[in-house]
């Protein structure tokens, strides 16, 4: 504390030095502070922008935008096909498009979810966040909302392109609007469910590179496993059980919700009609995944040290 | 080859949570094989569909990627590879050691389970097991070399590798037939097709290319990948940008 002896003025104002370890004589800020809500908002905005690589170097933009490009290309082709062959509907329905592109969607969430949470956990900066007026659960919710919103933006963009393509191809308007709205609901459900799954896995695998591989492994293996189980059980004569177990795959789960709520054709070709029970069961399943995912994330963030 | 490098690599690969994913994938494959047997009365046809679609098509590339990022990707990411590169060892030697460990891991966690899955799901006198075993070994060599090199070349190795292994071969291959002929899986399958001879068609073991083409392409790709990997490892620059 040699500095203190050299500057006796600092000791003369004890009420100012409260909560300050070293008062080296800078002017204090006593004005209004933006507070907790603003921090959450900033964290959410930063997460959302970071998912697309905005505000980050060019090489961080390559990966997300390649995947977004792959996801947005087919709608244009569909519109072209509809025009050239003068069809009266799109070659692929709004609700079937996203489950049909599930691999690209999985890759997107797998490559972006670790970005959202792994770095903070790996570099031990969580205590720095928590030293601000922000609660632990605010952090989790802001990260979840940021990723889910970003996912929704991408998925909704694909649906919108489908819709615009359908309008340009002069397809009957009424059916297109209903389809578009149903597609948007699928996009909302998918982004919530996938963001929850992705963030939980990313949070337990903070090592770089491992998170991506882990998320994609879980999603691809779940899809493959669920599809095979569903086919086997259907062939063995228990189609409804096959449908339920087939929904271990999050895409099939959301597809099941779309089928039972809107009465559209299943993107997975599942024939069994589960009726009301199915719709309720799927909705409960999706809610459980999202709520459970957030709860697990909150638990994970309870024990975050500097190490 | 250097024993110490191999030991370090193996410890990196099998420690931590990575090993968990390897084992989960393996158990899943075996579980599916049992389900297939139960549902299809051990017909070699269903067994072949499982081995072709799930084991060769999904598990093997995934395993290759998980292992490749484990043997070299993680070390490049956390920067600890500089300590190994600073040792008086040839880069070639380091890479070969890592490739050997990587291949061994893929062999244990993907190739053997594939053969076991075929046996469990249904086989006829071990022919199918042998054919898929040989194909899986060839594909494992190529995948290990490609993905390890990819891990050196780019930090997004996992995503690019997956785009190739799954999107290129399955999705694009479905629309553009020519693409199907440019795939490690098809090249490897060509050997199984030849080994099974006249029964290949009945068991749905078909490849887009002939055996000679398949083997030549596998060899070319593997050698090219290893060569590129050694070259990139010689002039490796580390940077901290994600």
SS3 for chain A, per residue? CHHHHHCCHHHHCCCCCCCCCCCCCCCCCCCCCCHHHHHHHHHHHHHHHHHCCCCCCHHHHHHHHHHHHHHHHHHHHHHHHHHHCCCCCCCCCHHHHHHHCHHHHHHHHHHHHHHHHHHHHHCCCHHHHHCCCCCHHHHHHHHHHHHHHHHHHHHHHHHHHHHHHHHHCCCCHHHHHHHHHHHHHHHHHHHHHHHHHHHHHHHHCCCCCHHHHHHHHHHHHHHHHHHHHHHHHHHCCCHHHHHHHHCCCHHHHHHHHHHHHHCCCCCCCCCCCCHHHHHHHHHHHHHHHHHHHHHHHHHHCCCCCCC
| End-to-end Cα distance, chain B | 31
CA-wise closest residue to A217 among B151, B64, B80, B99: B64
- Please tell me which residue of chain B has the smallest CA distance to A115: B242
Q: Give the model's confidence band at A123: pLDDT under 50 very low, under 70 low, under 90 confident, else very high.
A: confident
Tell me how close the Cα of B172 comes to any Cα of chain A, in angstroms: 11
Report the sign of the C-alpha dihedral through residues B148, B151, B153, B157, in that order: positive
CA-wise closest residue to B25 among B149, B89, B114, B143: B114
Question: How much is the mean pLDDT over chain A?
Answer: 85
Tell me how close the Cα of B90 comes to any Cα of chain A, in angstroms: 26
For testing the chain B interface, which of A217, A218, A227, A235 should be mutated: the one with the most B CBs within 10 Å?
A217
Are A221 and B66 in contact (CB < 8 Å)? no
Report chain A residues whose CB lies below 8 A from the CB of B162. 107, 216
* Chain B residues contacting A via beta carbons under 8 Å: 16-18, 21, 24-25, 28, 32, 35-36, 38-40, 50, 54, 58, 62, 65-66, 69, 73-74, 77-78, 155-159, 162-163, 166-167, 170-171, 241-242
One DSSP character per residue, B140-153 reads: HHHHHHHHHHHHHH
The domain spans of chain B are: 3-234
pLDDT digit string, tens, across residues B14-63: 876 677 778 888 888 888 888 888 877 778 888 888 888 788 888 898 88
Are A232 and B162 in contact (CB < 8 Å)? no
Distance CA B165, CA B157 (A): 12
Of A57, A111, A233, the CB nearest to B159: A111
The reported pLDDT for the residue numbered B225 is 94
Which range has the worst mean pLDDT, A18-32, A188-202, B66-80? Answer: A18-32
The reported pLDDT for the residue numbered A10 is 44
pLDDT digit string, tens, across residues A52-79: 999 888 888 888 999 999 899 888 888 8
Of B62, B73, B242, the CB nearest to A217: B62
The reported pLDDT for the residue numbered A39 is 92
HSE-up of residue A201 (Cα within 13 Å, Cβ side): 26
Distance CA A273, CA A263 (A): 10
Tell me how close the Cα of A38 comes to any Cα of chain B, in angstroms: 27
Report chain B residues whose CB lies below 8 A from the CB of A204. 17
Q: Which residues 75-104 of A are in CB contact (within 8 Å) with B? A: 103-104
Asked if residues A60 and B242 have their Cβ atoms less than 8 Å apart, the reply is yes
Asked if residues A278 and A256 have their Cβ atoms less than 8 Å apart, the reply is yes
- Strand, helix or coil for residue B196: helix
Asked if A68 reaches chain B (Cβ–Cβ under 8 Å), the answer is no
Report chain B residues whose CB lies below 8 A from the CB of A115. 242
Report chain A residues whose CB lies below 8 A from the CB of B54. 224, 228
Report chain B residues whose CB lies below 8 A from the CB of A113. none
Tokens of B166: 């799954």
Residue B207 DSSP label = -
Report chain A residues whose CB lies below 8 A from the CB of B24. 217, 221
Whether residue A9 has pLDDT greater than 80: no
Asked if A177 reaches chain B (Cβ–Cβ under 8 Å), the answer is no
Whether residue A134 has pLDDT greater than 60: yes
Whether residue A273 has pLDDT greater than 80: no
Report chain A residues whose CB lies below 8 A from the CB of B66. 213, 217
Tell me how close the Cα of A235 comes to any Cα of chain B, in angstroms: 8
Tell me how close the Cα of B164 comes to any Cα of chain A, in angstroms: 12
Q: Give the model's confidence band at B171: pLDDT under 50 very low, under 70 low, under 90 confident, else very high.
A: low
% of chain A surpassing 70 pLDDT: 91
Q: How far is CA B201 from the centre of its chain?
A: 25
pLDDT digit string, tens, across residues A94-104: 888 998 888 88
pTM above 0.90, yes or no: no
State the average pLDDT over residues B89-109: 93
Asked if residues B20 and B54 have their Cβ atoms less than 8 Å apart, the reply is no
Distance CA A298, CA A140 (A): 6
Asked if A119 reaches chain B (Cβ–Cβ under 8 Å), the answer is yes
Q: Give the model's confidence band at A49: pLDDT under 50 very low, under 70 low, under 90 confident, else very high.
A: very high
The reported pLDDT for the residue numbered B41 is 78
Q: Give the model's confidence band at A7: pLDDT under 50 very low, under 70 low, under 90 confident, else very high.
A: very low
State the average pLDDT over residues A255-270: 84
Tell me how close the Cα of B194 comes to any Cα of chain A, in angstroms: 28
- Please tell me which residue of chain A has the smallest CA distance to B154: A59
Of A209, A216, A233, the CB nearest to B74: A209
The reported pLDDT for the residue numbered A44 is 95
Q: Give the model's confidence band at A243: pLDDT under 50 very low, under 70 low, under 90 confident, else very high.
A: confident
Residue B87 DSSP label = S
The reported pLDDT for the residue numbered A50 is 92
Kindly give the interhelix angle for B3-14 and B91-106, rounded to the nearest 10 degrees.
40
The reported pLDDT for the residue numbered A19 is 62
| End-to-end Cα distance, chain A | 29
The reported pLDDT for the residue numbered B240 is 53
State the average pLDDT over residues A188-216: 89
Whether residue A23 has pLDDT greater than 80: no
Which range has the worst mean pLDDT, A217-221, A238-242, A293-297, B98-102? Answer: A238-242
- Which residue has better confidence, A199 or B51? A199
Are B58 and A224 in contact (CB < 8 Å)? yes
Distance CA B26, CA B205 (A): 22
Whether residue A16 has pLDDT greater than 60: no
Q: Give the model's confidence band at A144: pLDDT under 50 very low, under 70 low, under 90 confident, else very high.
A: very high
Distance CA A3, CA B47 (A): 79
Q: Give the model's confidence band at B174: pLDDT under 50 very low, under 70 low, under 90 confident, else very high.
A: low
């Amino acid at each position: 504390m040699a500095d203190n002896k050299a500057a006796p003025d600092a000791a003369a104002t004890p009420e100012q030095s409260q909560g300050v370890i070293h008062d080296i004589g800078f002017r204090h800020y006593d004005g209004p502070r933006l507070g907790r809500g603003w921090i959450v908002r900033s964290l959410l905005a930063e997460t959302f922008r970071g998912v697309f690589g905005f505000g980050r170097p060019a090489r961080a933009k390559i990966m997300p935008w390649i995947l977004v490009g792959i996801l947005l290309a087919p709608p244009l082709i569909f519109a072209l096909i509809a025009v050239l062959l003068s069809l009266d509907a799109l070659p692929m329905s709004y609700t079937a498009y996203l489950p049909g592109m599930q691999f690209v969607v999985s890759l997107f969430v797998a490559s972006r979810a670790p970005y959202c949470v792994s770095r903070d956990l790996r570099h031990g900066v969580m205590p720095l966040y928590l030293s601000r007026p922000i609660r632990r659960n605010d952090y989790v919710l802001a990260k979840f909302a940021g990723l889910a919103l970003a996912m929704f933006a991408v998925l909704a963009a694909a649906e919108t392109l489908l819709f615009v393509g359908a309008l340009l191809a002069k397809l009957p308007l009424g059916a297109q609007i209903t389809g578009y709205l149903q597609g948007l609901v699928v996009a909302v459900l998918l982004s919530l469910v996938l963001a929850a799954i992705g963030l939980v896995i990313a949070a337990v695998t903070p090592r770089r590179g491992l998170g991506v591989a882990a998320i994609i492994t879980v999603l691809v293996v779940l899809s493959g496993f669920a599809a095979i189980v569903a086919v086997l059980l259907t062939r063995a004569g228990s189609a409804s059980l096959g449908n339920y177990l087939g929904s271990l795959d999050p895409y099939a789960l959301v597809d099941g919700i779309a089928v039972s709520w809107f009465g559209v054709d299943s993107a997975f070709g599942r024939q069994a009609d589960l009726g009301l029970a199915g719709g309720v069961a799927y909705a409960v399943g999706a809610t459980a995944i999202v709520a459970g995912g957030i709860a697990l994330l909150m638990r994970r963030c309870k024990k975050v040290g500097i190490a | 080859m250097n024993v110490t490098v191999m030991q370090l690599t193996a410890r990196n690969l099998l420690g931590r949570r990575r090993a968990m994913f390897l084992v989960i994938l393996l158990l899943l494959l075996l579980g599916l094989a049992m389900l297939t047997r139960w549902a299809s009365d051990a017909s070699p046809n269903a067994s072949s569909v499982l081995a072709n679609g799930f084991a060769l098509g999904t598990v093997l590339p995934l395993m290759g990627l998980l292992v490749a990022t484990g043997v070299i990707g993680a070390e490049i990411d956390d920067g600890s590879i500089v300590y190994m590169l600073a040792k008086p060892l040839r880069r070639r030697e380091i890479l070969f050691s890592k490739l050997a460990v990587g291949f061994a891991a893929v062999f244990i966690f993907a190739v053997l389970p594939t053969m076991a899955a075929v046996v469990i799901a249904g086989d006829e006198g071990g022919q199918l097991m042998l054919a898929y075993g040989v194909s899986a070994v060839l594909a494992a060599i190529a995948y290990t070399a490609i993905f390890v090199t990819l891990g050196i070349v780019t930090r997004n190795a996992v995503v690019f590798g997956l785009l190739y292994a799954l999107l290129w071969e399955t999705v694009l291959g479905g629309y553009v037939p020519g693409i199907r002929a440019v795939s490690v899986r098809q090249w490897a399958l060509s050997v199984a097709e030849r080994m099974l001879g006249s029964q290949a068609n009945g068991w749905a073991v078909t490849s887009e290319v002939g055996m000679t083409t398949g083997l030549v392409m596998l060899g070319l790709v593997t050698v090219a990948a290893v060569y590129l990997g050694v070259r990139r490892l010689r002039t490796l620059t580390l940077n901290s940008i994600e």
